[in-house]
Amino acid sequence: MRGIKIPLLVYRAKKHKIKIRYLVAAAALLTISPTWQKAQATGCPDLRVVFVRGSGGELNRDANYLDFKKNIEERISGTSINYEFIDLDYPAVGVGVDNLGVTLGAYFGSGDSYEFGESVNSGVTKIETLINGASCPNTKYVIGGYSQGAMVISKSLPKLNPERIVYAATFGDPKIYLPEGEGIMPDACKGKNLSDYRAYVPDCQAYKGLLGAYEPYEPEALIGKLGTWCNRRDIFCSSRLSINDHTSYISDHLYEDAAKVITAKIFDYFRIADRVASHHDTAILIDSTGSMSSMIDQYKEEAYRLAKETIGSGGRVALFEYRDLDDPFPVLERCNFDTCSLEKFNSELNDIKADGGGDTLESMLSASFNAMQSLEWKYGATKSLVVLTDAGFLSPDRDGVNIDDVIKLSKKIDPVNFYIITDPSTSDYYVDIADRTDGKVITNFNELNLLTDYIMERYDSLPRVEEDAPVAKPTLSIDNVKYEVNGKATISFSSETEKTLVVLNDRILGYTNEKKITIEGLDSSVKNVLSLVPIGDEIRGDAVSAIINEANLTVTSLDILIPKAPNTGKAS
């Protein structure tokens, strides 16, 4: 991470001048080069899909808007829904530089320092008027926003009529809030207590956005109607530091992923028959130990039906057989995605016989790990691994494979959802792996056909979170604040990192390499809040804030305060 060290930067606000010494340029909200397309609108449609573009995005030409529109429209066109797309007409003031290679070469705060906040507030007013207004009272809305536009969405949500909202989606929101990412060992890193609006946030340490957080992020009236997408290392919404990930929502297919979720909500609301949103890759693993003899024929019947429906819908199947450690094969591939025609699948399925086995627990973990690793999974396909068994599993298994290894590989692939059909007495073994891969456990053999229907109706979506060992976040403490009556303040602090992000009154001012900064031109009639964010090599820490004014010299350690209007202005 490299910035431009500037001995003295001067920031001009409307009413006063602020000087900060030794700042290094901070990251800007950058956007993709746009192309042109015009949304059509006639009368009052059944559905309006509204997008709020990011900083500097050109109305009706912004690439993020066009990709969002394309991915939704190709799924709802041809239905009975009368719809229109709207790119919200609001300033979307630009910040940063055009050269994406200068990843941290742009900085905030120069120019009209309140322009960014005014832009966000303008967007909030526009979308509130559109959705809550008296015109088209029966029209329903899907709303989405990227970066600055995501802030418009998340800030406006408490003010919007929930009855008119089908779904809201935010992308790269600098005001994201994910309480499961808080702490040294966050719940998210254990796959627990995930926010229901967490659609795709791989970083298990994502907690608050770079500009703070709106709390609560999901209004109670919109529970089940909100999803947030944050790219893997996006500096504005994850705990990591990548500008490139903030500008890659199109190339990383995140609008495509969101479109599957959004259109499912649309179809459900308008009672449109479910459509297959993606092809299926389904691997079926059959436990063929001797104890399966009484039920294996019933299992085979449902396995064949699932394979027939999968192949018939344009998908692919694979078939594997496994037993336990005492048998000669850890997992036997019967046919894979390339070789499994329906005829081949049926022939191999009929050849499987229940036999052998010595102990109670089987080698399911090793079998599933090796099966997933050996297959060539198709991007964009709904990926399922169906296990047919009557027993639990060994952990660690053959070659030391454990349940965390299997889940990590599942999520790395896209994920692969685990569906386990088993005896009620062994279901407890499988609840964890099914929950953590967003799958299901079936113990009632009379419901086998329901599982096939459930799998076929699902669509592919990215994993909600990637569980991993968390990286230690850097810490910072403010040691002293000295305020002078002439509006000058000196702040000294201690930090584990060389670089510190400086935020004053909701304006990101830049980085400093020093442990002492001097601020001049402070307005003593307002509460001045300084927030310092330690920036490590790979991860940023939580902010520490101090309230600086003549009446109150107390240093207060806080999380980043909720900005009234984040102030970024334009880079000079």
Instruction: Provide the pLDDT for residue 49.
Output: 98
pLDDT, mean of each 10-residue run, the chain (572 residues): 27 34 35 30 84 93 97 92 97 57 30 62 96 94 96 97 98 95 93 94 94 90 97 94 92 93 93 71 92 84 89 92 79 95 95 76 91 91 91 86 92 89 87 89 69 72 83 91 81 91 72 84 76 89 80 42 34 27
Tally Cβ neighbours within 10 Å of residue 497: 18
Q: Looking at the structure, do residues 47 and 169 belong to the same domain, yes or no?
A: yes
Q: Looking at the structure, do residues 249 and 368 belong to the same domain, yes or no?
A: no
Residue 572 lies in a domain: no
CA distance 166 to 263: 10
Q: Looking at the structure, do residues 51 and 191 belong to the same domain, yes or no?
A: yes
Instruction: Provide the pLDDT for residue 330.
Output: 74
Of the three residues 238, 269, 300, the one that is the final residue of a domain is 269
- Amino acid identity, position 465: V
CA distance 298 to 445: 8
Q: Looking at the structure, do residues 265 and 354 belong to the same domain, yes or no?
A: no
Residue 514 lies in a domain: no
DSSP state of 378: P
Strands, DSSP E only, in 88-211? 140-146, 165-171, 198-200
Residue 417 lies in a domain: yes
Q: Looking at the structure, do residues 346 and 208 belong to the same domain, yes or no?
A: no
Tally Cβ neighbours within 10 Å of residue 100: 16
In which residue are the tokens 């606000």 written? 13
Entry pTM: 0.69
Instruction: Provide the pLDDT for residue 547.
Output: 81
CATH of the domain at 448: 3.40.50.410
Q: Looking at the structure, do residues 347 and 200 belong to the same domain, yes or no?
A: no
Residue 519 lies in a domain: no
Instruction: Provide the pLDDT for residue 391.
Output: 87
Q: Looking at the structure, do residues 325 and 185 belong to the same domain, yes or no?
A: no
Instruction: Provide the pLDDT for residue 252.
Output: 93
Q: Looking at the structure, do residues 176 and 314 belong to the same domain, yes or no?
A: no
Q: Looking at the structure, do residues 96 and 208 belong to the same domain, yes or no?
A: yes
Q: Which structure tokens are listed for 468?
A: 């991993």
CATH of the domain at 71: 3.40.50.1820
Instruction: Provide the pLDDT for residue 33.
Output: 29
- Domain ranges, residue 254: 27-269
Query: How many domains does the chain fold into?
Result: 2
Q: Looking at the structure, do residues 285 and 238 belong to the same domain, yes or no?
A: no
Residue 545 lies in a domain: no
Of the three residues 269, 299, 318, the one that is the final residue of a domain is 269
